[in-house]
């Protein structure tokens, strides 16, 4: 039986693109900093890639104590096998008690495999993390059906993936702090070969996160063109719940929530949306939230600033008329 107490410190797995730190990883630093301070341990980051010098330096402005760097030209782009091997080896060697990943295609490819290799658990799509100081235990908060669950992992390290977009970005400090530790490794790239990478022509993907106004539609909306008119009127864009996307009414890039995207527009109008936990994690940080629903008990009202109890097919045309007055 291994002694759980030998594990110390908080680690963040850093994702990057074109030598820029991904936003989701900065969000992890802000969670990680809090956890590390509460536990009075170091916050460390793991950076795997090629020519990571500038990026590692940049990380030191975000309250990181140690930046572990593994560099090699063959690590330029993520592939499972070498990243998995390096991550597992370093966790086994340095024994952090907590390791944070993002719920991104890379994080979700890597973290479950790493957790499995280390024979520990993994909690998916967390929206908040806290420490139970007495037990020195990580409290992993994630959506659970129409509830929110607090999960714990009884084995070390405690590993989670965090939903991107729900944690505020950390402030960039004025001065660098901490140290960089360069790690040399023999690298086996495994039997996977990248043949090509293509970006779809439609620049549509990604747009919804940038829009200031989102009109989000759920199953209560029967007439899409009404919602579209409202979006037009407010200079916004349509977003949707999962059932709307599953029904093929809007593309996947417009889905908001745990499976879709986390957004924080200035104005979010939820039309005919019940407010399931998996949807709320993607929109609760919006500026002004308005909900329109026939059911006064719909949970969406718990996260709204203003509510209208009514039928969207009547409220939307009336609202458009009022806006045009």
Ligand X SMILES: Cc1cc2nc3c(=O)[nH]c(=O)nc-3n(C[C@H](O)[C@H](O)[C@H](O)COP(=O)(O)OP(=O)(O)OC[C@H]3O[C@@H](n4cnc5c(N)ncnc54)[C@H](O)[C@@H]3O)c2cc1C
Instruction: Identify whether the C-beta of residue 71 lies closer than 8 Å to the C-beta of residue 55.
Output: no
Other Cβ atoms less than 10 A from the Cβ of 31: the count is 24
Q: By CB under 6 A, is residue 167 in contact with ligand X?
A: no
Q: Peptide bond before 157: cis, by omega within 30 degrees of 0? A: yes
Q: Of 113, 229, 243, 249, which one interacts with ligand X (CB under 6 A)?
A: 243
Binder of residue 48, out of ligand X, other proteins, none (CB less than 5 to 8 A by kind): none
At residue 86, φ and ψ (nearest 5 deg) are -65, -45
Q: Of 64, 208, 231, 304, which one interacts with other proteins (CB under 8 A)?
A: 304
User: How many whole angstroms separate alpha carbon 66 and alpha carbon 194?
Assistant: 32
Distance of closest approach, residue 44 Cβ to other proteins, in angstroms: 22
Instruction: Identify whether the C-beta of residue 165 lies closer than 8 Å to the C-beta of residue 283.
Output: no
Q: By CB under 8 A, is residue 258 in contact with other proteins?
A: yes
Applying CB under 6 A, the span of 66-74, 86-94, 186-194, 213-221 interacting with ligand X comes to 213-221
Q: By CB under 8 A, is residue 249 in contact with other proteins?
A: no
Q: Of 214, 231, 273, 290, which one interacts with ligand X (CB under 6 A)?
A: 273
Q: By CB under 8 A, is residue 115 in contact with other proteins?
A: yes
Task: Fill in the per-residue mask, 190 to 229: x = in contact with other proteins (CB under 8 A), - = not in contact.
Answer: xxxxxxxxxxx----xx-----------------------
Q: Which of 87, 101, 97 is nearest to 162 (CA)?
A: 101
Q: By CB under 6 A, is residue 306 in contact with ligand X?
A: no
Kindly give, in sequence order, each residue whose CB lies less than 8 Å from that of residue 134, ignoring residues fewer than 6 positions away.
Answer: none
Distances from the Cα of 107 to the Cα of 50, 111, 134, 248, 297, angstroms: 18, 6, 30, 27, 36
52 vs 138, beta carbon nearer ligand X:
138
42 vs 243, beta carbon nearer other proteins:
243
31 vs 48, beta carbon nearer ligand X:
31
Q: Of 49, 96, 165, 220, which one interacts with ligand X (CB under 6 A)?
A: 220
Q: How does strand 137-144 pair with strand 128-132? A: antiparallel
Which residue is listed with tokens 């399931």? 276
Q: By CB under 6 A, is residue 218 in contact with ligand X?
A: yes
Instruction: Identify whether the C-beta of residue 111 lies closer than 8 Å to the C-beta of residue 91.
Output: no
Give the three-state DSSP class for 71. strand
73 vs 145, beta carbon nearer other proteins:
145
Instruction: Identify whether the C-beta of residue 46 lies closer than 8 Å to the C-beta of residue 79.
Output: no
Q: By CB under 6 A, is residue 102 in contact with ligand X?
A: no
Judged by the rule CB under 6 A, the positions of this chain that interact with ligand X are 121-124, 144-145, 218-220, 241-243, 255-260, 272-274, 276, 278-279, 282, 292-295, 298, 311-313
């Amino acid at each position: 039986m291994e002694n759980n107490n030998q594990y110390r410190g908080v680690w963040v797995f850093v994702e990057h693109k074109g030598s820029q730190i991904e936003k989701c990883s900065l969000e992890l630093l802000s969670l990680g900093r809090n956890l590390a301070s509460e536990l009075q341990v170091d916050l460390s980051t793991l950076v795997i890639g090629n020519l990571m010098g500038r990026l590692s330096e940049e990380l030191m402005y975000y309250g990181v104590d140690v930046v572990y760097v593994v560099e090699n030209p063959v690590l330029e782009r993520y592939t499972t096998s070498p990243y998995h091997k390096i991550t597992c080896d370093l966790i086994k060697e340095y024994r952090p008690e907590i390791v944070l990943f993002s719920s991104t295609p890379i994080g979700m490819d890597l973290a479950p495999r790493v957790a499995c290799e280390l024979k520990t658990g993994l909690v998916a799509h967390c929206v908040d993390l806290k420490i139970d100081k007495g037990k020195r235990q990580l409290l992993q908060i994630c959506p659970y059906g129409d509830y929110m669950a607090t999960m714990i992992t009884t084995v070390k390290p405690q590993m989670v993936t965090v939903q991107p977009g729900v944690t505020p970005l950390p402030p960039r400090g004025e001065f660098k702090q901490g140290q960089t530790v360069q790690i040399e490794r023999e690298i086996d790239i495994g039997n996977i070969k990248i043949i090509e990478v293509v970006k779809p022509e439609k620049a549509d993907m990604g747009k919804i996160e940038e829009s200031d106004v989102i009109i989000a539609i759920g199953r209560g909306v029967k007439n899409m063109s009404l919602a579209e008119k409202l979006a037009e009127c407010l200079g916004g864009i349509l977003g949707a719940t999962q059932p709307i996307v599953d029904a093929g009414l809007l593309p996947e890039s417009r889905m908001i929530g745990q499976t879709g995207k986390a957004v924080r527009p200035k104005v979010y109008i939820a039309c005919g949306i019940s407010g399931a936990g998996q949807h709320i994690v993607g929109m609760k940080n919006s500026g002004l939230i308005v909900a329109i629903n026939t059911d006064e008990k719909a949970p969406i009202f718990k996260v709204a600033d203003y509510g209208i109890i009514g039928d969207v097919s009547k409220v939307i045309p009336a609202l458009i008329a009022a806006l045009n007055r």
